[in-house]
Structure formats: C-alpha cells, structure tokens
A and B are shown apart, each in its own frame.
Chain A
Amino acid sequence: QSVLTQPPSASGTPGQRVTISCSGSSSNIGSNTVNWYQQLPGTAPKLLIHSNNQRPSGVPDRLSGSKSGTSASLAISGLQSEDEADYYCAAWDDSLNGPVFGGGTKLTVL
C-alpha cells in the first residue's frame, strides 16, 4: 500500500486532455514539493515534472503539474499514443524522512 494515492488506471483518446490525481497528507504533499515520473514498459523512470510544476528540458509543454493542499495532479493535453505508460507521483515525507511514491497510474491511449 503506497503512501501517496493514485488511481490505478486512466484512459483517453488521441488529442484529448487527461488528468492523473495524487493524494497525500500534511507530512508529504502538504509540506513539500511534488514530482512526476513516466515509465514506459521495461524502461527506467523518466522525470516529467519537478517542484510541483517545473518541466525539465525536453519535456513538452502539453504536460503540466499542479498542487493544492495535500493533493497534486498531472495533466496531459493533446494525448498521443506515445503517452501510454505508467505515471508515478512522488514527494518527500517528513515523518518517514524520505521520498514516497504513489502506486502508479497506467495510462491507456484508446
């Protein structure tokens, strides 16, 4: 059971906008910044968003992150087939003294 809660699955059609939620608590999301990672099958995770809403170089601006209170979300607009992957949220947890991850959301492009 993960400390951060994500829906196990999400889906959308090409061109649509989808949002993936991540729920935590005051000791993690409520106090610290949130990051998002994408993992394609059989590959290493890739950083998509850090510090709540910052995109590393090379990440398209159709991906965006936001945070409010103890929840965060990742939005993907203009959905493409290559977006089909697992997505993980993460944040530092003050009680556990380490970063915690969500259980992951499998995004399917229909």
Chain B
Amino acid sequence: EVQLVESGGGLVQPGGSLRLSCAASGFSFSDASMSWVRQAPGKGLEWVGRINSETDGGTTDYAAPMKGRFTISRDDSKNTLYLQMNSLRAEDTAVYFCARTHTWWLRSVGQHYYMDVWGKGTTVTVSS
C-alpha cells in the first residue's frame, strides 16, 4: 500500500524550531519528488516547498514566506522526508501535509505539477 505518514508536530513558542518527518512506503521513494503543503485552521491549502529526487539533482524550492526559515531534506536510505522549520511565527500554525509530487514541463501545455499521494498531516501550533 502506498502510504505517507507525517510526525513531529506539536506546540512550539514563537521564534522556536521544529522538525517534521514524513515516512514513505509502498513506492520508490528515492525516485519521487516530494512536497510539503500546509493548511491553517479554517483556511485553504498553501504550498510550502518541494524537493526533487537525487536523480533530478535533489534541488529544493520554497514558497516566498518560507524562504530562509524552512528547509526541506530527504534521507532516501530511510525513505523519509523532512521539514526543518525555524523562527516560527503564529501564522505558521497549520496542519502540514507531505505529498508525492509529479512535475515536468512540456512546451505544448506548460508545467505539470500535481500531488497524487498525501499523508494525513501533522499539526503545528505556534503559541506562547
């Protein structure tokens, strides 16, 4: 069964740090690009960032509000994705989802970017 399981969420004070993990199973994790997406309470979905497979350079991209504060990494030997979050703010309070990502570009239709397998999410609360 293809599965993603997030962990590491919790309550953290403003300015603090937290590392989330996402354990993958049932598919070739090392070949996959992976994304983090978050959802603040009662709000919509917001992309956090992504990491490509090592075959595709292992490069990372981040949404503007997260640049410089969040770092995405992966350990293919452990089939695990990570999200290191520093300098946390109240507005970072959200459920954080990891998702398997498919991304490629074709001249005829442009950029494809979609997430087909999602974890159930882990809750991060930033509050004093």
B61, B112, B116: the one contacting A32 at CB < 8 Å is B112
Once A33-B109, A98-B47 are accepted as A-B contacts, the answer to whether A50 and B114 lie under 8 Å apart by CB is yes
Number of A positions contacting B (CB below 8 A): 30
Q: Does A68 have its Cβ within 8 Å of any Cβ on chain B?
A: no
Q: Does A90 have its Cβ within 8 Å of any Cβ on chain B?
A: yes
Q: Does B97 have its Cβ within 8 Å of any Cβ on chain A?
A: yes
Q: B residues within 8 A CB of A44? A: 97, 118-121
Q: B residues within 8 A CB of A45? A: 37, 45, 97, 115, 118
Closest to A100 in B: B47
Contact flags B99-128 to A (C-beta < 8 A → 1, else 0) = 000110000011111111011110000000
Q: Does A81 have its Cβ within 8 Å of any Cβ on chain B?
A: no
16 contacts between A and B (CB under 8 A): A31-B111, A32-B109, A32-B110, A32-B113, A33-B110, A37-B115, A45-B37, A45-B45, A47-B114, A47-B115, A50-B116, A91-B113, A92-B111, A92-B113, A101-B44, A101-B46
Once A51-B112, A92-B110 are accepted as A-B contacts, the answer to whether A99 and B47 lie under 8 Å apart by CB is yes
B contact patch SS: strand
Once A33-B110, A104-B44 are accepted as A-B contacts, the answer to whether A47 and B116 lie under 8 Å apart by CB is yes
Q: Does B63 have its Cβ within 8 Å of any Cβ on chain A?
A: yes
Interface size class for chain B? Answer: 20 to 34
Whether B118 and A46, one on each chain, are in contact in the complex, defined by CB atoms closer than 8 angstroms, is yes
Q: A residues within 8 A CB of B112? A: 32-33, 50-51, 92
Q: A residues within 8 A CB of B113? A: 32-33, 35, 90-92, 99
Once A44-B119, A90-B114 are accepted as A-B contacts, the answer to whether A51 and B44 lie under 8 Å apart by CB is no
Q: B residues within 8 A CB of A32? A: 109-113
Q: B residues within 8 A CB of A90? A: 45, 113-114
B37, B47, B111: the one contacting A33 at CB < 8 Å is B111
Closest to B95 in A: A44
Q: What 4 pairs across the A-B complex have the smallest Cβ distances?
A: A32-B110, A92-B111, A50-B114, A44-B118
Q: Does A24 have its Cβ within 8 Å of any Cβ on chain B?
A: no
Chain B contacts with A in 39-68, Cβ cutoff 8 A: 44-47, 49, 61-64
